A = this chain, B = another copy of it.
Amino acid sequence: MSAWVDVPPASDFPIENLPFGVVRPRRDNGSGRAAHVVVRIGDHVLELAAAGIAPELTAQPSLNALMAAGRGAEVRLRAAEVLTGAERGDWLHEVADVEVLMPIVVGDYVDFYSSIHHATNLGHIMRPESEPLLPNWRQLPVGYHGRAGTVVVSGTPVVRPSGLIAGADGIGHLMPTHSLDFELEVGFVVGGSRAARIRPDDADQHVFGVVLLNDWSARDIQGFEYQPLGPNLAKSFMTSISPWVVTLDALRPHLVHPPVQDPEPDPYLRARRPWALDMELAVDLNGTPVTATNFATMYWTFAQQLAHTTVNGATTGAGDLFGSGTVSGPTPGERGSMIELTWRGAQPLMLADGSTRAFLDDGDTVTMRGWCGGFDRNAGPRIGFGEVTGTVLPAQT
């Protein structure tokens, strides 16, 4: 299958990928500057409504209508037909000519804690005197609800948040965080009509697509606030996602079996089909690579997270976002957050310019990338995610 539009050989976005996004023309091109749904191919985007593809769902400022209708697979197929067909309309724009927008209106955002390496590292750091994993950790995918209204698209700057931070006397004072961190995560976007009691092996009937996610975190704010009801202000200021929603159809060749779980979880969490994702992940800080790992090391899969979230009768529907939890692999070079990489500042990172970091400084730029297959392993075409990036701005006073 090849398209009539040129796709650079190293592109994250060959014809086999075709992720969905939402863009707006940078200039009024005669039809106004309305946001609309596209698929991305190479360095271009295909305007779906202009190409006559489901305009009632694609002449929209978000993917939600398309996701709710459950017609993503059909629309993506028609886009592929247009891109490989004989007719060449004026439906293609260079990505440089459009403003790339937040692709979804987030319904509920649930963030998990599903890497055993991350949870073990955090347990060692936060509770050095006890077992790193709490008794429930291997029995259910621990998660909490995050703030949906502050999930933003890649490129949005992150203003250093303020909150109560405890002094030596245990009294909290309002100040900018001293320990701003990133968390390398993968986000799963739900489509279709609202459903409850989803079985893990039905996950692909409910997941529309996948994005990169940076769960920006303020460790000192979290330390003071999080007992007994969990993190709140330490996370709620902002969460960034990549703009291209990669469909589960495109990722299907890269689904693999997860690590064996011990003990075997309760039956409602058991799956027969492979729901881990063989996806490479890498983070750089101001251009210096600081971590790289593979998403297939996660203990709990998104299929299990979906089953867990709905086993109590709670429904999930189009626009809901599931965060994987920080992705940390088994070795020190695979840790998905600064607090792990620097062991809470005890082992600062050195960047290419010779400066060091315990946590993020104002002006720092964090960029996360992800891809499945491609030139790294000759495993078919590369299905890439692009990037999620953000620069730290000083605290607002």
Tell me whether A248 is interfacial, beta carbon within 8 Å: no
Asked if A159 CB lies within 8 Å of chain B CBs, one says yes
A136 at the interface (CB under 8 A from B): yes
Interface string of A159-178 (1 = CB under 8 A from B): 10111100000111110000
Evaluate contact between B172 and A313: CB separation under 8 angstroms. Answer: no
Query: Is B225 within 8 A of A228, CB to CB?
Result: no
Indicate whether A312 sits within 8 Å of B233 (C-beta atoms), given known contacts A147-B145, A225-B136. yes
Residue of B nearest to A218 (CB): B312
Contact A236 B163 (CB under 8 A): no
Pairs across A and B, CB under 8 Å, 20 listed: A107-B148, A136-B224, A136-B227, A139-B164, A139-B172, A140-B224, A142-B229, A143-B229, A143-B232, A144-B230, A148-B148, A149-B317, A149-B320, A161-B313, A164-B266, A172-B266, A174-B267, A226-B230, A230-B231, A236-B312
Q: Please determine whether B145 and A232 come into contact, CB atoms closer than 8 angstroms.
A: yes
User: CB < 8 Å: which of B144, B171, B396 contacts A229?
Assistant: B144
Residue from A173, A232, A396 with most neighbouring chain B CB atoms (10 Å): A232
List CB contacts (< 8 Å) of A277-315 with chain B.
Answer: 308-309, 311-315
Q: Chain A: residues with CB nearer than 8 A to chain B? A: 107-108, 110, 113, 134-136, 139-140, 142-150, 159, 161-164, 170-174, 194, 197, 218, 221, 224-233, 236-238, 263, 266-268, 308-309, 311-317, 320, 396
Q: Name the B residues within 8 Å of A172 (CB-CB).
A: 136, 139-140, 266
Q: Please tell me which one of the listed residues B146, B149, B226, B268 contacts residue A194 in the complex, with CB atoms under 8 A apart.
A: B149
